[in-house]
Structure 1
Amino acid sequence: MGDDIYEMDYNEMSLFTTPFGQLVQKEKTDIVLGHIKNDTNRSKYISNVNDSIYAISQSFLDIDLTIKLIKFADPKIKSFKMTRVDRGE
């Protein structure tokens, strides 16, 4: 694999940009806006599929960030010291 795989834009490559993902996103938006009842079997299914697509997309992003962290890490460093920024402060 070349380095170009590590520079993928996962926002651009999101599963929500696929035809299936766009359909799910449109129906989920209609549910949230109240255009479709949210208590039907179909709306519950669409909500579950939407949540699954989001979770898979988030996993791809996490993998990408992990690869970047591993590439950044120096093999001589035995541990990473967390700074206040790393902890989200």
Structure 2
Amino acid sequence: MEVRAALSALRDKLRMEQKPESSTGCKTIKERKRFQRSDLQNFTLKELNTLRSSLSKDIHELSSELVGRLLTRDQLRTEQDAMLLEIQDMTSL
């Protein structure tokens, strides 16, 4: 029974640590206006370059966020595997 209580407490703790991160979503990327082809054709070269730079920056930020989330996922899976092995060892005794 002690093992179950400890594992339950650990699970709850891990879930609480993950909730703030997953609920915030991507806060750095703002909602973009969708442009029609005619709008883009009427833009100056400077405006197009500014838009391209902004899109490249957003892509980089999203990629970095994705890498961070994938690392967190992998870490949690590793911890889960370790917990499952501990449980298996305890139940085999």
- Into which bin does the TM-score normalised by the smaller protein fall? 0.5 to 0.7
Superposed CA RMSD in Å reads 2.8
Aligned residues: 64
Instruction: Show the counterpart of 1:5.
Output: 20
Q: Percent identity?
A: 9
Higher radius of gyration, 1 or 2:
2
**More helix by percentage:** 2
Q: Equivalents in 2 of 1:61, 1:51: separation in Å?
A: 15
Partner deviation per Cα, 1:7-57 (whole Å, 9 max, x = no partner): x157x43533xxxx33xx32xx42x62312365112111111111112101
Structure 1 runs (4+) greater than 3 angstroms displaced: none
Instruction: Show the counterpart of 1:49.
Output: 54
Q: 1:41 to 1:33 in 2, by over 3 A?
A: same
Q: 5+ unaligned residues in a row in structure 2: which ranges?
A: 1-15, 83-93
- Structure 1 length normalisation: TM-score? 0.52
- Structure 2 length normalisation: TM-score? 0.51
